[in-house]
Structure 1
Amino acid sequence: MKIAALQMVSGTSVTANLQRAQSLLEQAAALGARLAVLPEYFCLMGQTDADKVRVREKPGSGPIQDFLASTARRLGLWVVGGTLPLESPDPNRVLNSTLVFNPAGELAARYDKMHLFAFQRGTERYAEADSITPGAQPVAFDCEGWRMGLTICYDLRFPELFRALSQPSACDAYLLPAAFTHTTGEKHWEVLLRARAIENLAYVVGCAQGGVHENGRRTWGHSMVIDPWGDVLAMQAEGEAVVTATLDRDRIARHRESLPALGHRVV
């Protein structure tokens, strides 16, 4: 299966961001991708945390969800909708959710980000819990015979989530929309992505924001596809890009046969 990680540098206008996402999705489809992943916050990188709360949508209804469904249907493409803000029980917060639409434009899976990023060094501060309610349930889905695990950004630091996604059956690939900061991404992004691929003997698709945004934030980028042996198959450092690679079922089987680590777990 050919997949595409769509790297963006999203801004403060939902309309403009959806237009850029549409162009990238069309490029992915033209390149023969069957599944395309948008980055975290693809629809909005606001000036303040309140901006995402302002544009939140009810599950199943809203212009961002309509865009994802109609584009998937028009292009005949599996679309993994990065993340978008959905209503949460707390009116001052949102759920940071990945929605997956199949080529018929139907909702195939939804995952609400479970681990919320917090970081402070000098004047650089992030606290997702100020505006986001955490999810509670790991989610994997079947895509044309492939088992895909859904994770988001900061989830990358929690290998137990990846293990949980492989129960009762191992995932073939993990999809990770992200908006890693430049500070943390420079040191940790690639090494963590490769670690998750190696320890699970599965593909990992890291789909990131990459550049300097209108709100002044700088994200690390380096969207990449990693194979089950930890090799980087394709990567884009910064800027908008369509990063493609082909998932090979035989490669998964070969590595899991030669190194049957998944069967050696004792805890």
Structure 2
Amino acid sequence: MGAFKAAAIQMRSGTSPERNAVDLERLVCEAAGLGATYIQSPEMTGALVRDSQARAASFTSEDKDTIVSTSRKLAKDLGIFLHIGSTAILRADGKLANRALLFGPDGATIATYDKIHMFDVDLDNGESWRESAAYEPGTQAVVTEISGAGIDGARLGFAVCYDLRFPQLFRAEALAGADLLSVPAAFTRQTGEAHWHVLLRARAIENGAYVVAAAQGGLHEDGRETYGHSLIVDPWGRIVAEAAHDEPAVIIAEIDPAQSAAARKKIPNLKNARDFAVNGGQAEALPLRGAAS
């Protein structure tokens, strides 16, 4: 497996998918011009819309979605792998999914992933979020191979934003062969300042994998404020690229899957995990797996 260039694009998505598609195209073209063949956008690339009625009016099915059609064409025209970190997609049952999509150099959809963990939290200073009120959580972890356009068989594991706080997801994907983990996000400024860097570096170190995390940044049209600081982290936990601010930007770094194999050889924790049980006073001990349950 050879090295390739990966890019994370940092956005400040507003409430209009059409306007956001224009920004997406500009930043993706910039990244491709710098030689990136895998390009990732942030969570909710299509629109950040807090009002429920406006949200219902903004989002549609995958076959009619502006971001999907724009991304499909961009991937084909530029001959790249384009990973839309997520956008809101109307499902057949009428519910919304917070969905990541990966398009190949031929424009075809390679894989999709619906965010599993919903951001239902009450933060300081009255900041409160109930993602489960708007979105249906996914149930399936996803790992897929990306091969072509100068990429020779890297394996990509999917996650979105709040998933970052659930290390068992990343461990399961690493055990399934992922050497590149993705965490596109719209982290709040409050939580990003506290935890963004350390959690991304931890997921890379724990799994001996690269982590690419494209982020939303700044004060958005719907009133929320996100942290920015898109990162690319290597398998040893070193930050190899960062947008050290919250403005729209492109960051790029070389990804060498051989470095993931080397890190896992030095620290073989994926192989060394053992089954164990936790007995918390229950009549029957709860069986757990050290790697992933």
**TM-score normalised by length of structure 2:** 0.87
Q: Does 1:86 align with 2:76?
A: no
Alignment counterpart, residue 244 of structure 1, candidates 242, 245, 252: 252
* Bigger Rg over Cα: 2
Alignment counterpart, residue 160 of structure 2, candidates 136, 152, 156: 152
Alignment counterpart, residue 8 of structure 1, candidates 11, 32, 35: 11
Task: Compare 31-40 and 252-261 and name the one that shifted more.
Answer: 252-261
Kindly report the root-mean-square deviation, in angstroms, between the aligned alpha carbons of the 2 structures.
Answer: 1.4
Alignment counterpart, residue 60 of structure 2, candidates 54, 57, 60: 57
Partners of 1:245 and 1:79 in 2: CA distance: 16
How do 1:164-203 residues align onto structure 2 when only pairs under 5 Å count?
164-167=172-175, 169-203=176-210
Q: What secondary structure is seen at the aligned counterpart in 1 of 2:63?
A: coil
Partners of 2:79 and 2:55 in 1: CA distance: 29
Q: What secondary structure is seen at the aligned counterpart in 2 of 1:60?
A: helix
How do 1:217-236 residues align onto structure 2 when only pairs under 5 Å count?
217-236=224-243
Q: What secondary structure is seen at the aligned counterpart in 1 of 2:48?
A: coil
Partners of 2:54 and 2:34 in 1: CA distance: 34
**TM-score normalised by length of structure 1:** 0.95
Alignment counterpart, residue 263 of structure 1, candidates 263, 271, 286: 271
C-alpha contact 1:52 1:85 (8 A) present in aligned 2 = no
Superposed structure 1 runs of 4+ greater than 4 Å apart: none
The aligned counterpart of 1:104 is 106
Partners of 1:62 and 1:190 in 2: CA distance: 32
Q: Does 1:141 align with 2:148?
A: no
C-alpha contact 2:18 2:66 (8 A) present in aligned 1 = no
| Runs of 5+ unmatched residues, structure 1 | none
% identity of equivalent residues: 40
Partners of 1:253 and 1:134 in 2: CA distance: 32
Distance 1:242 1:119, change over 3 A: same
Q: What secondary structure is seen at the aligned counterpart in 2 of 1:239?
A: coil
State how many pairs are aligned.
265
Please state how far the C-alpha of 1:49 moved relative to its aligned partner. 3.5
